[in-house]
Structure 1
Amino acid sequence: MKIYFLGTGTSQGIPVIGNKHPVCLSTNLKDKRLRSSILIEWKGSKILIDCGPDFRQQMLRIDNDSLDAILFTHEHADHTAGLDDIRPYCFMESKAMPVFAQNRVVESLKRRFDYIFETTNRYPGAPSIEIHEIEAYSDFTVDNKTIKPLLVNHGSLPILGYRFKDFAYLTDVKTLNEATYEQLHNLDVLVINALRIQEHPTHNNLDEALEHIRKIKPKKAYLTHIGFQLGFHDEIQATLPENVFLAYDNLTIEI
């Protein structure tokens, strides 16, 4: 299994428009972050988690020419706003793109991208989507590969994380319940969000992310969905436990 970190930034990315904070002005490429998303290459299948506003740029940057499915964690714009840009994959493969999401997220997509879901007088240039509604803790398959959707609390909003064999991806976490912790035993790699040093009402800060990691006990953990307030990549990395790493855009790992 190969994991491509397409973006590791928070909703505004880094640098933030007009922001003169030193991290936003950094020349270190590891401090430049597009909106959070990963691509999983797993035994011939390519599975995207979240399709944010930087999706087109991210696909061009890794020269990716195929996509088999999209999994959404939740409906916020930094995780969904690139949906129209899946068109080339639909056109190249002449088929609808399988999209997996909670019912609430599907309804949000239908409102935001109504022309994609139009069934009469449909615009011929719109991408074709095959919707699969999923729920936390009910496994589903993509190309005969089993995926476990897990409940994650994004503040008061119930969203999804995903487990693929010995790998799990959790973003926009604030709290986890015991049922989700139970599903995260024996991981080789955990990816989890760490927005900043200070507390935030709906996202982990660094201490909260590290506490989740201590409880889950993966062999390795990578932090993502990072804001400029966390600090410079290299300085923060030097403070982390030996099995915890700050993810960065274009990082690729194999499991």
Structure 2
Amino acid sequence: MSEIKFTILGCGSSGGVPRIGNNWGACDPQNPRNLRTRCSLLVQRIGTEGITNVLIDTSPDMRQQLLNAKVGELDAVIYTHEHADHVHGLDDLRMIVINMRKLINVYAAPSARAAIMGRFGYAFEKPIGSPYPPILKMHDLLTTLTIDGAGGPISIDSFDVDHGNITVRALRINDVLYTPDISAIPADAPMQNLDCWILDALRYTPHPSHTHFEQSLEWIEKYAPKRAILTNMHVDLDYQTICDDTPEHVTAAYDGLEITAKI
């Protein structure tokens, strides 16, 4: 018997909470659960022989997030999409490579792959005249993927959802669904029998690229996960207020929140 653990490394919107200028919005600055770094998720399979570590997105806050999680090695990185708040911590993967002394396998859908390699090409192929070797190896994010590691395999299913005018990948792992940036769900999306859904709930008012609080609650009622956790929260969503205003099986995320299951 082994265990799979999901750690929400960051649950803030693109500017984090507080935003630069010490803008907490409606969030109580005295509650540490309102201190939010940018969205990222750590998935770990913990077995008798070790741990398999998979990182979902490399936020600009990745260095501190992995220090907080006490993780210094990764078996893979998976990108949901190419936006800066989900990608631009990528260069700090160099320290992971130095720790492991091998390249990290990175997975992304075609549009995200092209954008990431366009911005960070040096991380995948040594530039002419550079003394620095590549640190990453890019792969296509297939709809079914298995990552192997010391703790045992982690199986990941992915499917496309809308995020405004781009398509992003939703990730389903062991009946836990992760959709940090989403504005619409396709009719054929595999939404049944979810143990937990970690989903976007950017703010109270509608947004062209994200679901908002009321719509997220409507989706939760429609798709009926056993548990739902709201993430990617802007400064107008206070942690305690959200917890008070949602059903018992729905809660606001906070940085460091862990979910575990036996497999």
What TM-score range do you get, normalising by the shorter chain? Answer: over 0.9
Paired residues, what number? 250
Residue of structure 2 in register with 1:140 after alignment: 145
CA gap 1:72/1:248 in 2 versus in 1, 3 angstroms:
same
CA distance in 1, matches of 2:242, 2:65: 25
Q: TM-score, normalised by structure 1?
A: 0.93
The CA deviation at 1:20 is 3.9
The CA deviation at 1:127 is 5.0
The CA deviation at 1:124 is 4.1
Q: Which amino acid aligns with 2:124?
A: F
The CA deviation at 1:188 is 1.0
Q: Which digits, 9 at most, give the CA deviation of each residue in 1:217-244, with x for residues without a partner?
A: 11101010000122x2111210101100
CA gap 1:100/1:16 in 2 versus in 1, 3 angstroms:
same
1:204 counterpart SS class:
coil
Contact 1:23–1:31 (CA under 8 A) maintained in structure 2: no
The CA deviation at 1:60 is 1.0
Q: Are residue 227 (structure 1) and residue 242 (structure 2) matched?
A: no
CA gap 1:131/1:20 in 2 versus in 1, 3 angstroms:
closer
CA gap 1:127/1:243 in 2 versus in 1, 3 angstroms:
farther
The CA deviation at 1:22 is 4.4
Contact 2:124–2:138 (CA under 8 A) maintained in structure 1: no
CA gap 1:200/1:20 in 2 versus in 1, 3 angstroms:
same
CA gap 1:124/1:190 in 2 versus in 1, 3 angstroms:
farther
CA distance in 2, matches of 1:174, 1:120: 38
Q: 1:42 aligns with which of 35, 40, 45?
A: 45
CA gap 1:41/1:122 in 2 versus in 1, 3 angstroms:
farther
Q: Are residue 162 (structure 1) and residue 171 (structure 2) matched?
A: yes
Contact 1:170–1:191 (CA under 8 A) maintained in structure 2: yes
CA distance in 2, matches of 1:208, 1:126: 46
Q: Are residue 172 (structure 1) and residue 181 (structure 2) matched?
A: yes
CA gap 1:219/1:115 in 2 versus in 1, 3 angstroms:
same
Q: 1:13 aligns with which of 16, 23, 37?
A: 16
Instruction: Point out the more displaced range, 191-200 or 39-48.
Output: 39-48
Q: Percent identity?
A: 36
Gaps of 5+ in 2: none
CA distance in 2, matches of 1:104, 1:122: 29
Q: 1:101 aligns with which of 101, 108, 119?
A: 108
Residue of structure 2 in register with 1:64 after alignment: 71
Q: TM-score, normalised by structure 2?
A: 0.90
Residue of structure 1 in register with 2:252 after alignment: 246
CA distance in 1, matches of 2:25, 2:113: 39
CA distance in 2, matches of 1:163, 1:207: 23
Q: 2:225 aligns with which of 218, 231, 246?
A: 218
Contact 1:8–1:33 (CA under 8 A) maintained in structure 2: yes
1:185 counterpart SS class:
coil
Q: Are residue 92 (structure 1) and residue 68 (structure 2) matched?
A: no
CA distance in 2, matches of 1:102, 1:20: 34
The CA deviation at 1:30 is 0.8
Contact 1:152–1:161 (CA under 8 A) maintained in structure 2: yes
Residue of structure 2 in register with 1:192 after alignment: 199
Instruction: Point out the more displaced range, 69-78 or 143-152.
Output: 143-152
The CA deviation at 1:24 is 5.5
Contact 1:87–1:126 (CA under 8 A) maintained in structure 2: no
Contact 2:27–2:236 (CA under 8 A) maintained in structure 1: no
The CA deviation at 1:89 is 1.5
CA gap 1:94/1:207 in 2 versus in 1, 3 angstroms:
same
2:181 counterpart SS class:
coil
1:179 counterpart SS class:
coil
